[in-house]
Structure 1
Amino acid sequence: MESEYVMNKERHLFPGSNTSMGFHSFFQYIIPLNEAKRIFYIKGGPGTGKSFLMKKIGKVFSEKGYSIEYFHCSSDNESLDAVVIKELGIALLDGTAPHINDPKVPGAVDEIINFGVCLNESNLSKVKEEIMNVDNKIKDSFKRAYAYIGAAKKVHDDWRHHNSKALDKDKLRKLKIDFKNKIIKNNVDKNGSERHLFATAFTPNGIITYIDTIYKHCSKTYLLKGGPGTGKTELLNYIKEEALVNGYDVEVFHDPLNPERIEHLILPELDTALLTSSEISKLSLSDEVIDMDSLLNNDYIDSVKDLILEDSYNFYKLLDIGLKNLSNCKKLHDDLEKYYVDNIDFQCRDEISEKIIHRLLEY
């Protein structure tokens, strides 16, 4: 079946996120190895130009009309962890911690770009203790951020519990079946594939979402609106499995609070987006809205409304402290970068960058 879905020429996504479980990575879904023509893993210290090179390459090929996927870093959403030129099957990825990546099929598919050769190692060795001290502070700040995000998730679980007790399972079951029949009408003679990423992330700049760059070319958009525990996750899981069984590809975007839950679904071949508006994303769309709160028993909700209000207040308070600690991580990382920026040969870096760009243009 030929799809009318047109991929956005420019999409912005997160390949990983800071979550209640720590840093969670979906880097393996940036580009399938069997579909890639060339993958470059960029090595080098912070501030050595990895993100700069990826942005430059994205701009060059975007201006030539190619579809570009920009994968942002959740620890600094203004920096990139990867860029993909879709039509050429080419990707450049940050190969350093916390997402260390190395070639899987060296030479044949992937290779390393090493900006480390441009560093003045002699000078850096003189400030080794200072670098290690800042690095340890960054680790401690991340640990504290994850502790508070984890605490926020526990309070969120209690909030979810109250709504779940009020959820009418029969109404949810009927909604799932009706929704499936409305969206998935035909079988496709192939195996459906799934791709997992984040559209939303917890970052030093707060809660950042790029969902508007991902779904806007879908002609059919549904917004599931409701609090935690109102059946959004169950409905999205059901549609995902039904789509896969019927041979459709799915893009699964995960919840940054709990990456085991789904935040949004894109069904490219069905030209359809299933989005959620929650206590985190707070999306507001003019397309069809499905009020998941309508599945709740209002009498029960009224009886526990004070508990829910308390959970809501404490959830946002704890999450805010977690986000402030992520912001502190960024400030410390900026301090770390200064050591490397002061000790890099920019001419060497630029020469390597230009060689890579010229190679890619040959494709």
Structure 2
Amino acid sequence: MKGNIKHFFPGNNTSQGFFSFYNYILPQEKAKRIICLKGGPGTGKSTLIKKVGEHFNNCGFDIEYHHCSSDDSSLDALLINNINIAILDGTSPHIVDPINPGAVDEILNLGECLNKKELTNIKTEIINTNEKISNTFKKAYSYFYAARSIHNIWSNCNLKSLNNSKINKLIEDLNLSIFKKNRLSYLGSERHLFVTAFTPNGIITYIDDIYKNIDNLYVLNGGPGLKKTKILTSIYKEAITRGYFVEVFHDPLIPKRIEHVFIPELSTAILTSNEINKKNLPGIQIYLENFINHNNHSILIKEDIKNFYMLLNEGLNILKKAKILHDELEEYYNPNIDFDKLNVIEDKLIYKLKKYIK
């Protein structure tokens, strides 16, 4: 019987550039083993992660696939939950090195499978392509930053007319509804990741995979400036104070904003349907537009919203160009990989990790 599978993004393309929550995939103190993969593009890191994930999932283990925001079909990490083992892509832009070498983590260098002599002959092409990729990502981030600036206008327009007393009452009511029992005297813990990402294939979200087994769902509906992050922060901080483990999922445009909060032990999630994910989500619906004083509410200029999505979509289109360049880079590496050697490394890794089951 197969185990469960969840999908996340540990990093994201944001208005602040590439933003990473890699350190939350598996904390050192909980890990039995963390494998840091090294090697160039196209050296089989994602393929290895998939192969190991499929093997342990088919053996009944719950796993997490952590996807690459620059190519959502590719994987940046694997977590085997039941035995606390993780495999991480340790290359740029999310460079990961062992923190406690040997005791917890170790490097697996797939660069050993490369034909270095042939790659040296095309050094100039590789360097030039890498530079183009870097510049293309910088351009995309510039558009996301510009979109955020327009987004701020939209947000401030709502914020100025928001009834803060009603928001505070909502927070109080939600806390009373969610936390019906007194809890332990020790603090809980938190984990931060993304489930929505800006990718070459557009805005991708895996939220449907996350909430499907949750009993209690609350949905905050509304655009920017309606204090969704304040509401979500209050709830997740209260959960931690009461000793619960909380999963906090962040917004891809502005990473400090919170998109969703999950409290697994209470089988409870507070979700948002917002201007980024545009999801119709099941649960108890809370429409934050109703908390605006419409008598004093300025009419938002439609041109601002239009410009926001124009800039956002252009940034996403530029990510497509970066993906095309990255595919070109992989074409330099793929013919120069010893796949037989790679297969042996994959099989040895699976055999090694299975020893941790006991």
TM normalised by structure 2 equals 0.97
Question: 2:271 matched to 1:267?
Answer: no
Secondary structure of 2:184's partner? Answer: coil
Question: 2:24 matched to 1:29?
Answer: yes
Distance between the aligned counterparts of 1:234 and 1:313, measured in 2? 26
Equivalent residue in structure 1 for 2:232, among 218, 229, 236 = 236
Question: 2:26 matched to 1:44?
Answer: no
Contact preservation (8 Å) 2:251, 2:257:
yes
Give the aligned partner of residue 190 of structure 1. Answer: 186
Distance between the aligned counterparts of 1:330 and 1:30, measured in 2? 24
Distance between the aligned counterparts of 1:43 and 1:103, measured in 2? 11
Cα deviation 1:223-282 (Å, max 9, x = unaligned): 100111112111111111111112211111000000011000001111101000001111
Distance between the aligned counterparts of 1:196 and 1:141, measured in 2? 27
Distance between the aligned counterparts of 2:137 and 2:296, measured in 1? 39
Q: Which amino acid aligns with 1:361?
A: K
Shift of 1:19: 0.3
Distance between the aligned counterparts of 2:153 and 2:210, measured in 1? 31
Shift of 1:285: 2.2
Secondary structure of 1:129's partner? Answer: helix
Shift of 1:210: 0.6
Secondary structure of 2:76's partner? Answer: strand
Equivalent residue in structure 1 for 2:161, among 166, 179, 188 = 166
Shift of 1:349: 1.0
Contact preservation (8 Å) 2:42, 2:334:
yes
Distance between the aligned counterparts of 1:32 and 1:134, measured in 2? 35
Equivalent residue in structure 2 for 1:226, among 206, 216, 222 = 222
Give the aligned partner of residue 304 of structure 2. Answer: 311
Distance between the aligned counterparts of 2:156 and 2:296, measured in 1? 12
Equivalent residue in structure 2 for 1:87, among 76, 82, 102 = 82
Cα deviation 1:310-330 (Å, max 9, x = unaligned): 221111000000000111100
| Superposition pairs of residues 188-337 of structure 1, within 5 angstroms | 188-301=184-297, 303-305=298-300, 307=301, 309-337=302-330
Equivalent residue in structure 1 for 2:133, among 135, 138, 147 = 138
Q: Which amino acid aligns with 2:334?
A: V
Shift of 1:51: 0.4
| Superposition pairs of residues 39-78 of structure 1, within 5 angstroms | 39-78=34-73
Equivalent residue in structure 2 for 1:360, among 342, 353, 357 = 353
Cα deviation 1:295-346 (Å, max 9, x = unaligned): 0012233x423x2x22211110000000001111000000000111011111
Give the aligned partner of residue 5 of structure 1. Answer: none
Shift of 1:189: 3.0
Contact preservation (8 Å) 2:193, 2:248:
yes
Gaps of 5+ in 1: 1-7
Q: Which amino acid aligns with 2:222?
A: G
Question: 2:103 matched to 1:108?
Answer: yes
Distance between the aligned counterparts of 1:76 and 1:244, measured in 2? 34
Q: Which amino acid aligns with 2:100?
A: V
Secondary structure of 1:286's partner? Answer: coil
Shift of 1:362: 2.6
Distance between the aligned counterparts of 1:134 and 1:195, measured in 2? 36
Distance between the aligned counterparts of 1:314 and 1:131, measured in 2? 36
Secondary structure of 2:330's partner? Answer: helix
Shift of 1:50: 0.4
Contact preservation (8 Å) 2:273, 2:281:
no
Gaps of 5+ in 2: none
Distance between the aligned counterparts of 1:22 and 1:52, measured in 2? 26
Distance between the aligned counterparts of 1:341 and 1:142, measured in 2? 23
Distance between the aligned counterparts of 2:330 and 2:282, measured in 1? 43
Distance between the aligned counterparts of 1:285 and 1:99, measured in 2? 31
Q: Which amino acid aligns with 1:362?
A: K
Question: 2:342 matched to 1:349?
Answer: yes
Secondary structure of 2:29's partner? Answer: helix
Task: Give the percent of matched residue pairs that are identical in Structure 1 and Structure 2.
Answer: 53
